[in-house]
Every structure is written in C-alpha cells, then in structure tokens.
Amino acid sequence: MLRARALFLDDANTYGCAEVTLISLQEHFALSPAADSSPAMALNGGVGYSGGVCGAITGAALVAGRLAGGFLPDHAAAKREARRLVQELMQGFTEEFGSVDCRTLTGYDLLAPGQHQAFIDSGVWRQGCMRQIEFAVGRLARLVEGAARAPGVPSPPGSGNAGD
C-alpha cells in the first residue's frame, strides 16, 4: 500500500484513482509493464469524470481481466472468473463505503464547471479516495490469491502480502 500512497498522494496529481490501482496491482502481481497506467487514464473520476463506477474498482477490474486471461486458458472461463472477482470486489466495496459511484463517494460532480478543482482543493481525495484505492488493491489481491488456492489453479506471480 505504500506504493499506492506515494503515487496517489503526490502533489503533482500525476495519477488518478484508476491509474494508481492499476499500477499497484500490476506491480503486486508482476504484470508488465507494471508502470503503464495508460489503459486506466480515462477511468478516473468514475469513467471520464462522469461520476460512475469508482476508478479504484475499474482499475482493479482491468487487472482481474489480465490475471484471469493469463492463467485460465479457456476464454469463457477466464471471463467468468474475472467477472466473479469484480462482483465480489464491488460487493465488499459497497458494504465498506455505501456505494460504488464516484459522485456519491466524493460528493462532487467532476464535470460541472469548477467542481474538479474544488474536489482537488478540498483534499477529499487524500483521505476518502485513498482509502478506496487501498481497499480495492488489498481486496482484489486477497480474492485472487484465494482463487489461486483452488485445486488445479496456478498461483499468480507476486502472490504474497497484499499490504506491501
């Protein structure tokens, strides 16, 4: 989690929630290129700042798909497993935070004039969003590692302490 905090809490605001979640999980599971956040760039702020599903979840969903697709040779089975992992992540996230929607979680309509800057200035992202990123990274890592313990399923690279 230290890496996620360092990336997200950087005053330069280089990476958003989806990007930090993607990079952190790619590093955890040794998926290369681990530092490539480009697949998640448009997912921050609930997909294009629309306020939809939290970027911590969508970033984690990208990794769930990469892992399932890389470890399960049957494409249909990999899709089922990736969806199962994300559904469990979303259920736990909702139980923990009350919603999966960015606008509800942050209280800001990031598309409205001045609202993105107000969101940044408020610092809500430093506490609330950071907790949501840490939750998504930790929960998905545990879900994947739990699934890997099933008979006949290979362990993903990087399986270990998700709290690092």
Residue 159 domain flag:
no
Q: Angle 117-122-125 (CA atoms, 0-180°, nearest 5)?
A: 90
Query: Residue 162's pLDDT is what?
Result: 47
Query: Residue 13's pLDDT is what?
Result: 77
Residue 100 domain flag:
yes
Query: Residue 154's pLDDT is what?
Result: 57
Query: Residue 10's pLDDT is what?
Result: 86
Cα separation, 56 vs 148, in Å, equals 22
Amino acid at 72: L
Query: Residue 152's pLDDT is what?
Result: 58
Query: Residue 92's pLDDT is what?
Result: 98
**Residue 40: which of 58, 53, 28 has the closest Cα?**
58
Query: Residue 135's pLDDT is what?
Result: 98
Query: Residue 163's pLDDT is what?
Result: 44
Token code pair at residue 12: 């330069």
pTM of the predicted structure, to 2 decimals:
0.87
Residue 154 domain flag:
no
Residue 86 domain flag:
yes
Token code pair at residue 99: 């919603």
Residue 133 domain flag:
yes
Cα separation, 138 vs 146, in Å, equals 12
Q: In 88-128, which ranges are E strands?
A: none
Measured CA to CA in angstroms, residue 45 lies from 40, 49, 62, 100, 121 at distances of: 11, 4, 16, 11, 15
How many structural domains comprise the chain? 1
| Domain containing residue 66 | 2-148
- Ranges under pLDDT 70 in the chain: 150-164
Structure confidence by residue, pLDDT tens digits, 67-108:
999 989 999 999 999 999 999 999 999 999 999 999 999 999
Query: Residue 12's pLDDT is what?
Result: 84
Residue 161 domain flag:
no
Cα separation, 8 vs 14, in Å, equals 8
Query: Residue 146's pLDDT is what?
Result: 87
Residue 156 domain flag:
no
Count other Cβ atoms within 10 Å, centred on residue 38. 9
**Residue 7: which of 55, 50, 52 has the closest Cα?**
55
